[in-house]
Amino acid sequence: MKYNELTRRYFENAPGAGVLVGPGIYRGAAGSRNQGTWVQFEVQVDLHARVTIVQVARFLALACPHVIAVSAWVTERAVGLEVKDQLPESVQSLRERFAVPVEKLGRLLIVEDAWIAAAYAAGAPRLGSAATGE
């Protein structure tokens, strides 16, 4: 498989790969190691802040180079942002940015699910919860 320059760079360097220790760390995972794609995100937030901001983010993944590259990019882009139940960029935009073949779209949805799980663990409000009363 041919990878674009951005995918190669993020896969080879994998910034954000690893685990966090200390207070204010929340974790979420999705996928299945047995199925070949598993992703876990960890976010660290300030437990005393009024707004939950990502201070540090890390990931672990058992996945193809596209998923590892996208996961690394997400951890980089999320720092300084409010924890929300959505990725810093849409799945479609990530697919285009990293030239992920459409047949791998399901793998990017696993990345999204893992991020949402970590965001919920950190107390992020569900998207649209104010409007729906959830």
Find the CATH number of the domain harbouring 30: 3.90.1010.10
Residue 131 falls within a domain, yes or no?
no
What angle separates helix 5-13 from helix 65-78, to the nearest 10 degrees? Answer: 80
The two tokens of residue 52 are 């939950």
Q: 74: domain range? A: 5-125
Residue 18 falls within a domain, yes or no?
yes
Using alpha carbons only, what angle is made at residue 94 by residues 90 and 96, rounded to the nearest 5 degrees? Answer: 120
Q: Report pTM.
A: 0.90
Q: Is 19 in contact with 60 (CB distance < 8 Å)?
A: yes
Q: What is the pLDDT of residue 125?
A: 65
Residue 40 falls within a domain, yes or no?
yes
| pLDDT tens, residue by residue, 23-46 | 999 999 999 999 999 999 999 998
Q: Is 22 in contact with 84 (CB distance < 8 Å)?
A: no
| pLDDT tens, residue by residue, 62-72 | 999 999 999 99
Residue 113 falls within a domain, yes or no?
yes
In angstroms, the Cα distances linking 20 to 11, 38, 100 are: 20, 18, 28
Residue 79 falls within a domain, yes or no?
yes
Q: Label residue 47 by pLDDT band (50, 70, 90).
A: confident
Q: Label residue 126 by pLDDT band (50, 70, 90).
A: low
Q: Report how many domains make up the chain.
A: 1
